[in-house]
C-alpha cells in the first residue's frame, strides 16, 4: 500500500509541495491528499488589489491551477474539507467535510501543515458589519464589486501597509472618495524608515487621498447591519466600504493544539529542511517562522515568494530528497500609482533594534541617464554597519524602473557584501536604462564614503 | 612647488581621476594638468546613437562637464593639446598645441594615461569617403545631421553590435531605409550566443531593416568624393550614409612607444591599483586591459562604467589613498526598439573557449505576473559549470523591464554563486513587477535541475 502524505491547506506552499512530490514520486509510492477548507486552490491573493482596481479584469486569471487540474496531476485535492485536529500519536488528522458536516479521521505517514495566515482583525465594535472586509480571497473581491454596484462612494482603508495602499489605489481608480487611516506616523511604517515613508505619504496625498497618520480606529458606526462610518478618538469618517489591511498572523493554532512547537513570532518552528519538532510533521508557508539572514532571528514574513520556495523545498524533502530553505531578507516591492516602493533586509530602525551600530545613508539618483527622456528621480536608502561596512538593508522609493533594483541589493545582502564591494560591481549601463553610475552603485559609494 | 599630475585624455577615466584627486588633494599639494586633443571633455559617447535617433534633442545635454567647469574646480584642462610622446626617463611628455602647432616638454611627477580607444577602421577602399563615418564624437553626430539635411535616404550600418544596432534604430526612426551588414552569423555575435542572437535578428528584420548576416564588406563605391554604395563579395548596397560600428581598439601606441607594457589583448597592462609596469605611470579606461572575474584572463572591455570606476580608483591611489579595481564581468545592456538585450559574464561559447565544461540553459518567462497587463515575454539564458553548478554567465532578451534583471545575475556572478544558490534567493515580488518566481529564480532553478 502506498504511503500517504496529508497536506493541510491547498494554496501556495501546500500545492507547491504537492506538485514537487508528484515530480519525484509516483502515486503508488506516495499518495498525496490535500485538505483545503475553501473551494479554491493556488490562487494569486497578491493580485486581488489589482482586480479591485480593474487593472486585472478576470478573477479566473488569478487562479494558477484549479482543484481539477491538480487532481489530473495525481494530487487528491479535497476542497471544502477542514482539518480540525492533528493526533500526533495516532498519526492522523480529524477532517470535517464542510458540505456534509461529517467528520472522519485520516491516517498520514507524512504530514505537511500549510495552513497559511489570517488577516489581523481587531475586536473593534462593529467590525462584523456588512461593508467591512479584508481583501484576502476572491470572495472578498466579489464582495467589493457588489458594494460598488450598490452605489458605494466613500471608502476607508484601515492600515497603510502594502495591501492597504494597493487597495486604496484600486478603489481610487474606481472613482471612490478615499480615506486611509494609519496608526503609525508614516505609511508602510513596519517596513520603511520614516524618511522614506514621508515620500510615500506625499504621493498618497497628491493622489487626493485623505491620509490620516498617527490615528487609531476605535470602532464602526453600523446602521441596519451595514457600516456607515469609521470611528477614531477625534473624528468619524463616513464609509460605504471599509477595507482592513493590518497584516496577517500565522494560522498556527492547529499545530499548537497538537503540541507542535510554535515560536515567539507566532509562527510554527521549523528547521532549514522545514521539519517541525515532531517526527514526520513538516510545515511551510505563511504559517511558519523563517530565519532572517541578517539577524539570525526567527520572523514571520508572509509572502507568496517564500511560500512557493518553501513548498518546493519541503516537497523535495518529503519525497526523500535533500533541500534547504535559505532564510529570508524580507525583500518586498509594491507600487502606489507611478511610485515604486521596495525594501530588503533591515531598516535603520530594525537594525538598531537588532543591536547593530547602523548608519542610514540616502542617495538621490536618476533612473536613467539625466539627458534621456523619461528619466525619473529615485531615492536609495542603504543601511550599513559602522566598522565593518556591511550592508544591512536597503529601501528604494522612485518612479518607473526604480523598484526592481532592490533585487541587486537583496543579492548583495544575501552574499553579505560591504558597501565598498557593492560600489565596485560591474552592473549594466546604457542611457535608456541607467546613469553611468547606476543608482545602486552611487548609493553604495556614498554609504562607503560616509562610513 | 606643487607636485604635478599629468593626465593624457580628458574623457571619462581621465576626468574622473582628476576630480577624485581634487577631492583629496589641494592644488598646492598636487597640480593636475589634463591634455585633451579634442575640444571637449567628459561627454557621454553612449548617448550619441540616441541623439541621432532624436530621443535626445540637445547635443549639449551629453556634455557632463565642460573644460571651463573642470577648470573652475582646480583642474588645468588644456583642450586641443595632443601628447605625442612620453619620456619615462626624463619624467616628461611632449605636448603639441594643435592650434599653434608648437611642441613643448612638460614635466610630470605622476602620469595617468587615459587615452581611450578608437573605432576599428579596416583598410577598405573608399573608407575615407564623405558619408562614411563612425559615431564616436559629437562632431560625428553633427556630420550625420548634415547628411540627413542634405537629403540622405539610404543608410548602411556595418556591424551589428551594440553601436551598430543603436545607430540603426536611430536612423530608422529618422525615416531612412536601413541595411545592416554583419560578418558573423548573428547580431551581437561577440557578446551573445547564436540562439539568443537569433531573437535579436528577428526583431531587426521585423522592424523592416535589411539584415545581412555572414556578409563581409569589401569596400565602398565613391562618386565625387561621396560614398554611393557599400560593396560585398556578392552584392552592392546603395548608401547615402555609412556608419561603421565594428567596436574599438585601445589607444596604446603612446604607451607602447614609451616602453610601457601592453598586453596580448592590446590594452595597457595594469595591476588592480591601475599602476603600469613603469614607476609613477598609471593607466585607466578604454586603453587598459582588465581582469575578467570569471576567467582571470586580461581583456579589453571598453565601457564608460569601467572608465569611470577606474578613474576614481586611480585618482584615489595617485592622491595617496588605497583603492583597487575589482575586475570586470563584461556586463552590458542595450535596446533595439522594444526589445531589451543584456548579458554578463561568459557566453556559452566564451565559457567553452576558456576551458569550462559549461552548460547553457534557456528559460522562457514573463516580466510580470501572467495576468497583469503589460506582461512581456522574456528569455533568460544561463551558462553554468557542470560539476560545481557555478554560474558563469547570463544573457537576457525580452520586452520592457527584462534587461535590467541582468544586474541581479551580475551580482550573483560577482559573488561566485551556484545556480542552486541563486534559485533560493529572496527577490522582490508583486504582480506589476514579476511573476511570483522571478525570471531570474526560474532560470536558476531550471539550470540547477538540468545539471
Read off the CATH number of the domain in which A384 is found: 3.30.390.30
Contacts of A342 in chain B (CB under 8 A): 428
Identify the residue among A411, A440, A449 best suited for mutation to test binding to B, counting B beta carbons within 10 A and taking the highest. A411
pLDDT tens-digit profile of B46-71? 999 999 999 998 888 998 899 999 99
Question: How do beta strands A226-232 and A217-223 pair?
Answer: antiparallel
Quote the pLDDT of residue B430. 96
Residue B125 included in any domain: no
Nearest CA among B87, B111, B84, B83 for reference residue B7: B111
What is the arithmetic mean of pLDDT over B360-380? 96
With a CB cutoff of 8 Å and minimum separation 6, the contacts of A13 are: A112, A114, A116, A284, A285, A286, A287, A307, A308, A310, A311, A314
pLDDT at A67 over 90: yes
β-strand partners of A97: A81
Q: Is a pLDDT exceeding 90 seen at residue B157?
A: yes
> What per-residue confidence (pLDDT) applies to A350?
97
Using the Cβ of A56 and the Cβ atoms of chain B, whether some distance falls under 8 Å is answered with yes
Of B53, B59, B58, B19, which Cα lies nearest the Cα of B40?
Answer: B59
Does B10 share its domain with B94?
Answer: yes
Can you give the three-state secondary structure of B127-138, one letter per residue?
CCCECEECCCCH
Longest pairwise C-alpha distance within chain A: 70
Around B269, how many Cα atoms within 13 Å sit in the side-chain half-sphere? 10
Give the model's confidence band at A391: pLDDT under 50 very low, under 70 low, under 90 confident, else very high. Answer: very high
Do A12 and B436 lie within an 8 Å CB cutoff? yes
Of A47, A331, A427, the CB nearest to B407: A427
Q: Is A431 within 8 Å of B333 when comparing Cβ atoms?
A: no
Shared-domain flag, residues A17 and A109: yes
Tell me the pLDDT band of A45, cut-offs 50, 70 and 90. confident
Q: How far is B313 from chain A (nearest CA, A)?
A: 10
Flag whether residue B325 sits within 8 Å of chain A, measured between CB atoms: yes
Say if residue B54 is exposed, middle or buried (CB neighbours under 10 Å; 0-12, 13-18, 19+): exposed
CB A158 within 8 A of CB A244: yes
* C-alpha cell at position A58: 478576470
Residue A324 counted as domain residue? no
Report the distance separating Cα B181 and Cα B196, nearest Å: 18
Q: What is the pLDDT of residue B42?
A: 84
What phi-psi label fits residue A340: left (phi over 0), alpha (psi between -120 and 50 degrees) or beta? beta
Closest CA to A260 of A234, A299, A240, A287: A287
* pLDDT of the residue at B337: 97
Residues B232 and B259 in one domain: no
* A370/B contact by beta carbon, under 8 A: yes
Interface of A with B in 139-198 (CB under 8 A): 162
The DSSP secondary structure of B100-147, one letter per residue, reads T--EEEEE-SEEEE---EEE-----TTTTSBTEE---SHHHHHHHHHH
Q: What is the pLDDT of residues A164-200, one digit of tens each?
A: 999 999 999 999 999 999 999 999 999 999 999 999 9
SS3 B265: coil
Chain A partners within 8 Å of B332 (Cβ): 428-430
What is the pLDDT of chain A when averaged over all its residues?
A: 96
| CB-based contact A428 B406, cutoff 8 Å | yes
Q: Is the CB of A430 inside 8 Å of chain B's CB atoms?
A: yes
Which string of b and e fits B147-170 if b means at least 16 CB within 10 Å? bbeeebebbbbbbbbbbbbbbbbb
**For range A197-204, the mean pLDDT:** 98
Is A76 within the bounds of a domain? yes
Chain B stretch 390-409, residues whose beta carbon is closer than 8 A to a beta carbon of chain A: 401, 403-408
How does pLDDT run across A394-430, given as a tens digit for each residue? 999 999 999 999 999 999 999 999 999 999 999 999 9
- How many Å apart are CA B227 and CA B220, to the nearest integer? 7
Which residues in chain A have Cβ-Cβ distances shorter than 8 Å to B292? Answer: none
Most distant pair of Cα atoms in chain B: their distance = 70
Question: What integer pLDDT is reported at residue A2 of this predicted model?
Answer: 86
Tens digit of each residue's pLDDT (9 = 90 or more) over B285-313:
999 999 999 999 999 999 999 999 999 99
Instruction: Give just the sign of the alpha carbon dihedral A16, A20, A23, A28.
Output: negative
**Contact (CB<8Å) B410/A401:** no
Phi, psi (degrees; rounded to nearest 5) at B4: -125, 130
State pLDDT tens for residues B242-299.
Answer: 999 999 999 999 999 999 999 999 999 999 999 999 999 999 999 999 999 999 999 9
Same domain, A15 and A29: yes
> Considering the domain boundaries, does residue A253 fall inside one?
yes
The answer to whether B432 contacts A335, with C-beta atoms less than 8 Å apart, is yes
| Boundary-marking domain end, from B260, B290, B318 | B318
- For residue B232, being part of any structural domain is answered with yes
Domain finish residue from B223, B246, B269: B246
In a domain, A126, yes or no: no
The Cα B439–Cα B423 span in angstroms is 10
Question: Within this chain, do residues B339 and B427 fall inside the same structural domain, yes or no?
Answer: yes
Decide if B127 is inside a domain: no
Q: At which of B318, B342, B376 does a domain end? A: B318
Cell output for A205: 496625498
The pLDDT tens digits of the residues spanning B193-211 come to 999 999 999 999 999 999 9
Q: Strand, helix or coil at A138?
A: helix
Minimal CA–CA distance to B124: which of B220, B252, B42?
Answer: B220
Q: Are A82 and A104 in contact (CB under 8 A)?
A: no
pLDDT above 70: percentage of residues in chain A = 100
Taking all residues of chain B, what is their mean pLDDT, rounded to a whole number? Answer: 96
Assess if residue A124 is contained within a domain: no
- DSSP for B388-443 reads T-BEEEEEEEESTTSGGGHHHHHHHHHTT-BHHHHHT------TTT--SS-HHHHH
Contact A403 B428 (CB under 8 A): yes
> The domain spanning residue B355 has which CATH number?
3.50.50.60
Tell me whether 0.85 is exceeded by the ipTM: yes
Task: Give residues with Cβ within 8 angstroms of A275, minimum separation 6.
Answer: A281, A282, A317
Find the CB nearest B50 among A333, A426, A431. A431
Question: How high is the pLDDT of residue A383?
Answer: 98
Residue of A375, A428, A440 to mutate for B, most B C-beta atoms under 10 A: A428
| Same domain, yes or no: B437 and B409 | yes
pLDDT tens digits for A21-43?
Answer: 999 999 999 999 999 999 999 88
Q: Which residues of B touch A141 (CB under 8 A)?
A: none
**Quick one: closest CA in A to B329, which residue?**
A426
Instruction: Clarify whether residues B159 and B222 are in a common domain.
Output: yes
Q: pLDDT, tens digit, for every residue of A341-369?
A: 999 999 999 999 999 999 999 999 999 99
Q: Which three cell numbers stand for residue B70?
A: 573642470
Question: Exposure of A336 by Cβ count < 10 A (0-12 exposed, 13-18 middle, 19+ buried)?
Answer: buried
* B residues 241-280 lying closer than 8 A (beta carbon) to A: none
- C-alpha neighbours within 13 Å on the C-beta side of residue A142: 5
Residues in chain B with CB shorter than 8 Å from the CB of A393 are none
pLDDT above 90 for B394 = yes
pLDDT at B2 over 90: no
Q: For residue B64, what pLDDT is reported?
A: 87
Distance between CA atoms of B9 and B5, rounded to whole angstroms?
13
Residues A144 and A234 in one domain: yes
Place of cell 504559517: A287
The reply to whether A225 and A158 lie within a common domain is yes
Q: Which of B44, B333, B369 sits opposite A428 (nearest CB)?
A: B333
Q: In angstroms, what separates the C-alpha of A409 from chain B's closest C-alpha?
A: 8
Distance from CA of B145 to the nearest CA of A (A): 19
What's the rounded Cα separation, in Å, for the pair A49 and A162? Answer: 10
Q: Which string of b and e fits A402-426 if b means at least 16 CB within 10 Å?
A: bbbbbbbbbbbbbbebbbbbbbbbb
| A46 assigned to active site | yes
Contacts of A433 in chain B (CB under 8 A): 333, 335, 340, 403-404
CA angle A9, A11, A16 (to 5 degrees): 100
Q: State the burial class of residue A50 (Cβ atoms within 10 Å of its Cβ: 0-12, 13-18, 19+).
A: buried
Q: Which residues of A touch B372 (CB under 8 A)?
A: 47, 50, 55-56
- Give the whole-angstrom CA distance, residue A446 versus residue A391: 12
The single residue of A46, A64, A106, A400 carrying the catalytic annotation is: A46
Q: pLDDT grade, residue B147 (50/70/90)?
A: very high
pLDDT by residue (tens digit) across A264-305? 999 999 999 999 999 999 999 999 999 999 999 999 999 999
pLDDT confidence bin for B44, thresholds 50/70/90: confident
- How many cross-chain Cβ pairs, A to B, lie less than 8 Å apart? 197
Q: Which residues of B touch A46 (CB under 8 A)?
A: 369, 429-431, 436
Q: Which residues of A touch B410 (CB under 8 A)?
A: 425-428
A326 touching B (Cβ < 8 Å): yes
Kindly indicate the confidence band of residue A107, based on its pLDDT and cuts at 50, 70 and 90: very high
Cβ atoms of A110 and A67 closer than 8 Å: no
Do residue A347 and residue A307 come from a single domain?
no
Q: How confident is the model at residue A239 (pLDDT cuts 50, 70, 90)?
A: very high
Nearest to A424 among B309, B370, B371 (CB): B309
B376 and B355 assigned to the same domain: yes
Q: Which domain holds residue B98?
A: 3-118+249-318
| Residue B45 binned pLDDT confidence (cut-offs 50, 70, 90) | confident
Q: How many domains does chain A have?
A: 3
φ and ψ of A310, to 5 deg: -65, -35
Note whether A117 and A287 are within 8 A (CB).
yes
Is there a single domain that holds both residue A165 and residue A272? no
Inter-chain touch B410–A431, beta carbons under 8 Å: no
pLDDT range class, residue B376, cuts 50, 70, 90? very high
Amino acid at each position: 500500500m502506498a504511503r500517504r502524505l496529508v497536506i493541510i491547506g491547498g494554496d501556495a506552499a501546500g500545492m507547491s509541495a504537492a506538485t514537487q512530490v508528484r515530480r519525484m514520486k509516483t502515486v503508488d509510492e506516495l499518495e498525496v491528499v490535500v485538505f483545503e477548507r475553501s473551494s479554491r486552490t493556488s490562487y494569486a491573493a497578491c493580485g486581488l488589489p489589482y482586480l479591485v482596481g480593474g487593472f486585472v479584469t478576470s478573477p479566473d486569471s488569478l487562479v494558477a491551477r484549479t482543484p481539477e487540474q491538480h487532481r489530473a496531476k495525481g494530487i487528491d485535492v479535497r476542497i471544502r474539507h477542514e482539518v480540525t485536529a492533528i493526533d500526533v500519536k495516532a498519526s492522523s488528522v480529524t477532517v470535517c467535510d464542510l458540505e456534509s458536516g461529517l467528520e472522519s479521521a485520516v491516517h498520514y505517514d507524512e504530514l505537511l501543515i500549510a495552513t497559511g495566515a489570517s488577516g489581523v482583525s481587531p475586536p473593534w465594535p462593529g467590525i462584523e458589519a456588512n461593508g467591512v472586509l479584508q481583501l484576502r480571497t476572491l470572495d472578498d473581491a466579489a464582495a467589493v464589486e457588489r458594494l460598488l454596484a450598490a452605489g458605494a462612494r466613500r471608502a476607508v482603508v484601515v492600515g497603510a501597509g502594502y495591501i492597504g495602499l494597493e487597495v486604496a489605489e484600486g478603489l481610487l481608480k474606481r472613482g471612490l472618495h478615499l480615506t486611509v487611516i494609519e496608526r503609525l506616523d508614516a505609511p508602510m511604517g513596519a517596513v520603511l524608515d520614516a524618511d522614506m515613508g514621508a515620500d510615500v505619504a506625499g504621493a498618497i496625498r497628491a493622489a487626493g487621498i485623505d491620509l490620516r497618520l498617527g490615528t487609531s480606529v476605535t470602532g464602526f458606526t453600523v446602521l441596519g447591519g451595514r457600516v456607515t462610518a469609521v470611528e477614531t478618538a477625534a473624528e468619524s469618517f463616513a464609509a460605504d466600504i471599509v477595507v482592513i489591511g493590518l497584516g496577517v498572523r500565522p494560522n498556527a493554532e492547529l499545530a499548537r493544539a497538537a503540541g507542535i512547537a510554535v515560536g515567539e513570532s507566532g509562527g510554527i518552528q521549523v528547521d532549514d529542511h522545514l521539519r517541525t519538532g515532531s517526527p514526520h510533521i513538516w510545515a511551510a508557508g505563511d504559517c511558519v517562522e523563517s530565519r532572517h539572514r541578517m539577524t539570525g532571528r526567527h520572523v514571520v514574513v508572509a509572502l507568496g515568494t517564500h511560500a512557493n520556495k518553501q513548498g518546493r523545498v519541503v516537497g523535495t524533502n518529503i519525497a526523500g530528497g535533500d533541500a534547504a530553505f535559505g532564510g529570508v531578507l524580507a525583500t518586498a516591492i509594491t507600487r502606489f500609482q507611478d511610485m515604486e516602493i521596495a525594501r530588503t533586509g533591515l531598516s535603520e530602525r530594525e537594525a538598531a533594534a537588532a543591536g547593530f551600530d547602523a548608519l542610514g545613508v540616502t542617495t538621490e539618483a536618476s533612473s536613467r541617464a539625466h539627458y534621456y527622456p523619461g528619466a525619473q528621480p529615485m531615492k536609495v536608502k542603504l543601511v550599513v554597519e559602522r566598522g565593518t561596512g556591511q550592508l544591512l538593508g536597503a529601501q528604494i522609493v522612485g518612479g518607473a524602473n526604480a523598484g526592481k533594483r532592490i533585487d541587486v541589493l537583496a543579492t548583495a545582502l544575501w552574499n553579505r557584501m560591504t558597501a565598498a564591494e557593492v560600489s565596485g560591481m560591474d552592473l549594466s549601463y546604457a542611457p535608456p536604462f541607467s546613469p553611468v553610475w547606476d543608482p545602486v552603485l552611487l548609493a553604495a559609494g556614498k554609504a562607503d564614503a560616509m562610513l
